[in-house]
Structure 1
Amino acid sequence: MSTTQYSLKESSIPKLLLTYAGPAVLGLLINALYNIVDRIFVAQYIGAQGIAAVTLSFPISLFQFGFILLFGSGTGVLISKYLGESRPEKAEKALGTMMAGLLITLVLFTSAGLLFYKPLLHAFGAQGELLKLSGEYLQLIIFGFPLSFFIALEFTCRAEGNPRLPAVLILISSLINLTLDLVFMKYFHMGIRGAALATIIAQSVNAIFLLRYYFSGKSLIQIDWKNIRIQKNMILSIFSLGLAPFIMDVASSIQNIIANNLLLQSGGTFAVTAMGIIFSVNIFFLMTALGTGDGMQPIVSFNYGAKRPDRSYKTLLYSVGLVSLTGFLGLIVLEQFPNLIIGIFIDKNQNIIHITQIALRIFALSIPFYMVQIVATRYFQALHKKKIAVFFAILRPVLLFIPIVYILNGAFGLNGIWSSFVVSDSLAVLITLYFIRKY
């Protein structure tokens, strides 16, 4: 048994969470920071319409990230389970199958994106100058897809016991993004295209280093050229395990599209700009939940494979406690200092400041609820409870949010849209806690 395998089976759960979830959360928080600074640059050098344009383009990026989750998260869970069962050769076949699937998907996705990005943006509600700006931004983002898909290797790194490398690479790519934002937008006056170009260069650097790690022979699980092919049983296992986070991400994309459309109807560009600011702030909490869930999964999956369910359950309890505490602290900060936070993005347009202040205070109430729900979804995915994980993935953003947002928007207008996040997330976490107790 390797040192990594012994650690996963015998070390204390808090220590393991610090080892695995710590770098994952830190890396994603750094990623969140550069996303926020990215939008600050857009706000300062382009204005409110720039933030609205990036916000309208966001569902496409979410949809792409859904496929990264489908392959990366599904393969990561499978690798952890195989290592727990002491079957490294199966883990290498899973990695090879993932690489083949990524190559096929990135060709199809990039081609479709370049052909249909404008009609999609128009369907999302973009018109006139907003359509032009969002189109310029999204076109360049799509050109970066062929490399950015390989960020899926971050999940397999964590699964094989190397959680530090993804965190370091996210830090490097974040610094690159921030530096290029300043150069392209302030000095080269490239506008929103500069923001997009900085993003795709940073993501590409991350992906290139991940590929280098695996092809240099330094990884525990090797990429063997003969394994880079679609193996039917393996790809089905990857899809079934990665389906929950994929559906959650795609469902969030649908949720954003519907919310943006209703916001344009009820409050215009200013309301979408407010949502963009909320997304920028919220990304800190989202990444904390995702990082905790992603870091938790190798521990849960390994001990599931090693027949230690008690350790898997303890990992869930510590993870839920961590995100709950973070969520409530965030709620207090956002309720007490909304103007200070909004002023980082917009400090002159009083209409946007007023709309965002109300929206942020309402939306903040949902943060602790959805953070717990994300971690629970990752837990059932790691335990191979696929049907429950898929149900959780669509519960909050689709089954609950869509009917609730239309009802509350009709009854209360713009404030009803903000409140729909709170209502759907609180109901979702109650249902989630019931399933946790049951299983």
Structure 2
Amino acid sequence: MNEQVAANPLGTERVGKLMIRYAIPSIISIVVNSLYNMVDQVFIGQGVGYLGNAATNIILPLTSILLALGMMIGDGTASYMSLNLGKGCNEDAAQGVGNAVALTVGISVFLLVLFELFLEPLCHLFGATEGNLPYALEYGSIIVLGFPFAMIDGAFGSIIRADGRPKVSMVGLLIGCITNIILDPIFIFVCHWGVKGAAWATIIGQILNAVYFVACMLRFKTIEIKKRHMIPTWSVIKRILTLGTSSFISQAASVFVIAVMNNSLVKYGAMSKYGADIPLAALGITMKVSQLITGIALGIATGIQPIFRF
């Protein structure tokens, strides 16, 4: 067996120990990220008001689309990588990771341009009202600028876990979340930037997370990435996307659900004494709380996937 593969803990350690080692960092990172989302809504609610909360819920489907594609690439590549490492095919594993890097950069830049050009129609599609549209455009135009970094964060974390470094993946997510939590009150309350402040805090956290992940991708434990591996190969890309389809579908389904719920709240909320914007804001806050509850189960499932794949 290749020496690098033999060094991979997925092929040497006991399954029970591996499950603990991989699941706990994954749970921590997802729960902390959920807590950040809750705290973010508190800061926006206190510093901007319910229209700011509603605006973030309008932009949520856009970020969910990006996350769905990032998860498809990341989980698909992690599966492809683990399957090949399990067979001792390190060169194939490296090619899969190199293709994933090229795919991540290409798709994220394309979405950045597309969503910036059609941001206002998309906001209307996802339930924007006359009251929250200016906030949604202000928040969304900045958030979209961070798409390349956000997609790196979403895709590379799974790949790094498949390399046998679950704690490293956790640290990257924590860097982004903690940075965001620190900068949110500074930008919103001290600088008085409103929803722009919340958006910039998010992007800066994503950039730091992405820089950390890129640095980690340059020092793989189980494979060696070379320039030739980053040349897109259709057979490899097809296999990656096929393996990641389930992750994409599960995440992309939330985009449809949010769009339907937002538009329903706008239509029927306007008939109530609260109007359309308050129900939109309430839905956004409730969804952030629910992420904390489901984060534990999702952390376990995400953490043990590299073990099953190998």
User: TM-score, length-normalised on structure 2?
Assistant: 0.92
Correspondence list, 1:36-435, <5 A: 36-151=38-153, 152-215=155-218, 217-267=219-269, 268-302=276-310
- Residues 38 and 178 of structure 1 are in contact (CA less than 8 Å); yes or no, is this contact kept in structure 2? yes
Between 1:132-141 and 1:264-273, the stretch displaced more is 264-273
- Residues 213 and 219 of structure 1 are in contact (CA less than 8 Å); yes or no, is this contact kept in structure 2? no
TM-superposed CA distance for 1:292, in Å, is 1.7
CA distance in 1, matches of 2:294, 2:63: 15
CA distance in 1, matches of 2:13, 2:228: 36
TM-superposed CA distance for 1:35, in Å, is 1.2
- 1:162-207 C-alpha deviation (Å, 9 max, x unpaired): 1001111111221110111011001000000100100011011101
CA distance in 1, matches of 2:92, 2:299: 26
Q: Which runs of 5+ in 2 are unaligned?
A: 270-275
CA distance in 2, matches of 1:50, 1:214: 36
Partner-residue secondary structure (3-state), 1:230:
coil
Between 1:52-61 and 1:169-178, the stretch displaced more is 169-178
- Residues 214 and 222 of structure 1 are in contact (CA less than 8 Å); yes or no, is this contact kept in structure 2? no
- 1:133-184 C-alpha deviation (Å, 9 max, x unpaired): 0111111010011222211111111111110011111112211101110110
- Residues 42 and 50 of structure 1 are in contact (CA less than 8 Å); yes or no, is this contact kept in structure 2? yes
Partner-residue secondary structure (3-state), 1:129:
coil
- Residues 129 and 277 of structure 2 are in contact (CA less than 8 Å); yes or no, is this contact kept in structure 1? no
CA distance in 1, matches of 2:223, 2:299: 22
- Residues 121 and 131 of structure 1 are in contact (CA less than 8 Å); yes or no, is this contact kept in structure 2? yes
Identity %: 32
CA distance in 2, matches of 1:4, 1:77: 18
- 1:381-429 C-alpha deviation (Å, 9 max, x unpaired): xxxxxxxxxxxxxxxxxxxxxxxxxxxxxxxxxxxxxxxxxxxxxxxxx
Partner-residue secondary structure (3-state), 1:190:
coil
CA distance in 2, matches of 1:232, 1:285: 39
TM-superposed CA distance for 1:57, in Å, is 1.0
Partner-residue secondary structure (3-state), 2:74:
helix
Partner-residue secondary structure (3-state), 1:132:
helix
CA distance in 1, matches of 2:110, 2:290: 31
TM-superposed CA distance for 1:95, in Å, is 0.4
Which residue of structure 2 aligns with residue 410 of structure 1?
none
Length, aligned pairs only = 300
CA distance in 2, matches of 1:141, 1:286: 25
User: TM-score, length-normalised on structure 1?
Assistant: 0.66
CA distance in 2, matches of 1:93, 1:285: 37
Which residue of structure 2 aligns with residue 360 of structure 1?
none
Q: Which amino acid aligns with 2:302?
A: D
- For the pair shown, the structure with the greater C-alpha radius of gyration is 1
Partner-residue secondary structure (3-state), 1:144:
helix
Which residue of structure 1 aligns with residue 273 of structure 2?
none
CA distance in 1, matches of 2:266, 2:206: 30
TM-superposed CA distance for 1:10, in Å, is 5.9
- 1:55-104 C-alpha deviation (Å, 9 max, x unpaired): 11100000010111111010001111111111111110000111111122
Q: Which runs of 5+ in 1 are unaligned?
A: 303-439
TM-superposed CA distance for 1:223, in Å, is 2.3
CA RMSD of aligned residues (A): 1.5
Q: Which amino acid aligns with 1:48?
A: Y
